[in-house]
Amino acid sequence: MKTIKGPALFLAQFAGDEAPFDSWTGITRWAADCGYEGVQVPSWDSRLIDLDKAADSKGYCADWAGQAHENGITVTELSCHLQGQLVAVHPAYDMVFDGFANPSVRGDPAARQEWAVSQVEKAIRASANLGLTALPTFSGALAWPYVYPWPQRPAGLVDMAFDELARRWRPLLDLADEHGIDLCYEIHPGEDLHDGVTFEMFLDRVDQHARAKMLYDPSHYVLQCLDYLDNLDIYAERIGAFHVKDAEFNPTGRQGVYGGYQSWVDRAGRFRSLGDGQVDFKAIFSKLAAIDFDGWAVVEWECALKHPEDGAREGAAFVRDHIIRVTPHAFDDFADGGTDEAANRKMLGLGA
Tally of structural domains, the chain: 1
Q: What is the rounded CA–CA span in Å between residue 59 and residue 122?
A: 16
What's the pLDDT band for 347 if we cut at 50, 70, 90?
A: confident
What's the pLDDT band for 341 if we cut at 50, 70, 90?
A: confident
Mean of the pLDDT values across residues 217-238? Answer: 98
The model's pLDDT over 168-189, given as tens digits with 9 standing for 90+, comes to 999 999 999 999 999 999 999 9
Q: What is the rounded CA–CA span in Å between residue 123 and residue 78?
A: 7
Residue 119 lies in a domain: yes
* Residue that wins the pLDDT comparison between 32 and 2: 32
Please provide residue 214's backbone torsions phi and psi, each rounded to the nearest 5 degrees: -105, 145
Residue 173 lies in a domain: yes
Q: State the average pLDDT for the chain.
A: 96
Least confident range from 101-110, 133-142, 204-213, 327-336: namely: 327-336
Task: Tell whether the model's pLDDT for residue 23 goes beyond 70.
Answer: yes
Strand partners of residue 39: 9, 75
Res 330: pLDDT: 73
Residue 21 lies in a domain: yes
Residue 317 lies in a domain: yes
Residue 28 lies in a domain: yes
Residue 152 lies in a domain: yes
Residue 352 lies in a domain: no
What's the pLDDT band for 334 if we cut at 50, 70, 90?
A: low
Q: What is the rounded CA–CA span in Å between residue 10 and residue 40?
A: 5
Res 344: pLDDT: 87
Res 335: pLDDT: 65
What's the pLDDT band for 336 if we cut at 50, 70, 90?
A: confident
The model's pLDDT over 79-115, given as tens digits with 9 standing for 90+, comes to 999 999 999 999 999 999 999 999 999 999 999 999 9
CATH number at residue 213: 3.20.20.150
Task: Tell whether the model's pLDDT for residue 337 goes beyond 80.
Answer: no
| 3-state helix, strand and coil shares in percent for the chain, rounded to the nearest 5 | 45, 15, 40
Task: Tell whether the model's pLDDT for residue 324 goes beyond 80.
Answer: yes
The model's pLDDT over 180-226, given as tens digits with 9 standing for 90+, comes to 999 999 999 999 999 999 999 999 999 999 999 999 999 999 999 99
**Containing structural domain, residue 235:** 5-347
Res 342: pLDDT: 86
